[in-house]
Amino acid sequence: MNWVTLIYLIMFFFGIFFIVMFVILHNRYRRILFSSPKSPSKLPLISFFVPSYNEEDTLEETVMSLVNLDYPENKKEIIIINDGSKDRTLEIARILEKKYFFVRVLNKSNSGKASSLNQALKIAKGELIAVVDADSYPRKDSVLKMVGHFDEKGVSAVTSRVLVKNKKNYLENFQVWDYSIIAWTRKLLDFVDSVYVTNGPLSIYKKSVLKKLGGFDTKNLTEDIEITWHMLSEGYKTRMSYDAIVYTSVPSNLKYWINQRVRWNLGGIQTVHKYYKSMFKNPENMFGYFVIPYVSSAFLFALIGFVLFGRFIWLKGSYYFISLFYLGEGYNPFKYLEFSFLPTVLMILALIFMVITVYYYNLGFRNSETGSKNVLKIFSYALLYRSLYVIPLIIALYKLAKGDLGWYTK
């Protein structure tokens, strides 16, 4: 057995292992997938942070979604953080501040999202802190379906299910499917205490824990991932309410999609690097024994898959190109494209992986707002869209090698 075959075997084994694990989790907990604990009779005061940088097109709608929440006005404060915007964001924020007594504006020079959240944390009155991106729109009942989780001992953060608001072109619609799979998988991880991301569109934190941990990491490009890992590393629990819905605006063209995913990858790699020493430590919680290996292997296998694919294209492509020069001597240029249908262990694993992947995706779609999909649509999602994931990963690694850690969304 050569080393390439061995790598394929390892990748297929772990791919099958994780998918089967998620399917088992779904079958075991499907009856409570959409369940959330009842909200407490005495609702806590919540401070909603809305970090904003050049959000004149979406800020008012976001704030109004918070104003109209099914949550008492005397139990919420909304802090709009203007992070040195160059458009009408501050003007719109001031208008909203005058209109609603529970809306406040924190105006500051540009220093990034994490810094904005930390400054707001200093003046927040709430027992809980809810972070809402300025282009996201929670459903009215979303917060009430989240706060009950904090009655569980050790829970320090609760996140929501993010759905896509804009659905006009192919890229946006692929993201509708993608966000559905991401949210469904994250909920399954909740059942094994492994929710490792509290998303930016809507997540709620205990203020006391945030302060104890020193707030959000200003050096990390994905502060929502880092703060979650920080909490998990300290033994706290994180939860997800699958029936708490928030809509968000997603990139409508490939350039902005790549920029967004470059930032996600950079922040994810930063976080893995920061906490990798906790791997296989503290066996009483899942952070070191599952979360870190799971996320790290996802990055590693994506990179290995890209290298193997490039190797295949290079070898086959170069042989094919060279053979063209010998057509006159009777060489068959298609001989290098021949494929053997004789069954092998590798082929059997590949077939199993393909079948259970289709089943896994369709299971996720059936448990989301998208509904069941046929095999052709699932293949188009898996092969056309998911294969794009490697582009921002490679760019992120290049940026990381250069030390270029700028903000890649706006």
pLDDT tens per residue across span 253-272: 999 999 999 999 999 999 99
User: Does 237 fall in a domain?
Assistant: yes
Determine contact, residues 237/193, Cβ cutoff 8 Å: yes
Give residue 401's pLDDT. Answer: 85
User: Does 173 fall in a domain?
Assistant: yes
Pair (23, 56) in one structural domain: no
Give residue 410's pLDDT. Answer: 46
Pair (47, 161) in one structural domain: yes
Residue 228 belongs to a domain with what CATH number?
A: 3.90.550.10
Pair (16, 44) in one structural domain: no
Task: Determine the Cα angle at 35 with ends 32 and 37, to 5°.
Answer: 125
User: Does 158 fall in a domain?
Assistant: yes
With 60 as the cut, is the pLDDT of residue 408 above it? no
Give residue 325's pLDDT. Answer: 63
Give residue 247's pLDDT. Answer: 97
CA 161 – CA 48 distance, rounded (Å): 17
Pair (193, 173) in one structural domain: yes
- Average pLDDT of the residues in 55-84: 97
Last residue of a domain, one of 253, 278, 309: 253
User: Does 166 fall in a domain?
Assistant: yes
Pair (58, 8) in one structural domain: no
With 80 as the cut, is the pLDDT of residue 32 above it? yes
User: Does 268 fall in a domain?
Assistant: no
With 60 as the cut, is the pLDDT of residue 340 above it? no
Least confident of 124-138, 309-323, 359-373: 309-323
Last residue of a domain, one of 253, 272, 304: 253
3-state secondary structure of 88: coil
Least confident of 220-234, 272-286, 290-304, 305-319: 305-319
DSSP string, 174-205: HHHHHHHHHHHHHHHHHTTT------SSSEEE
CA 53 – CA 59 distance, rounded (Å): 10
With 90 as the cut, is the pLDDT of residue 342 above it? no
CB burial of residue 162 (10 Å; 0-12, 13-18, 19+):
buried
User: Does 52 fall in a domain?
Assistant: yes
- Average pLDDT of the residues in 172-180: 96
Give residue 284's pLDDT. Answer: 77
Pair (112, 237) in one structural domain: yes
Q: What percentage of the chain reaches a pLDDT higher than 90?
A: 77
Pair (182, 76) in one structural domain: yes
pLDDT tens per residue, range 218-256: 999 999 999 999 999 999 999 999 999 999 999 999 999
Q: Which domain range does residue 183 map to?
A: 39-253
Pair (47, 19) in one structural domain: no
**What is the reported pTM?**
0.90
Pair (19, 148) in one structural domain: no
| Most confidently modeled range among 127-131, 315-319, 328-332, 346-350 | 127-131
Pair (208, 298) in one structural domain: no
Pair (178, 296) in one structural domain: no
- Average pLDDT of the residues in 13-29: 94
Pair (213, 309) in one structural domain: no
CA 23 – CA 240 distance, rounded (Å): 18
Number of domains making up the chain: 2
User: Does 273 fall in a domain?
Assistant: no
User: Does 18 fall in a domain?
Assistant: yes
pLDDT tier at 309 (50, 70, 90 boundaries)?
Answer: confident
CA 331 – CA 223 distance, rounded (Å): 58
With 80 as the cut, is the pLDDT of residue 315 above it? no
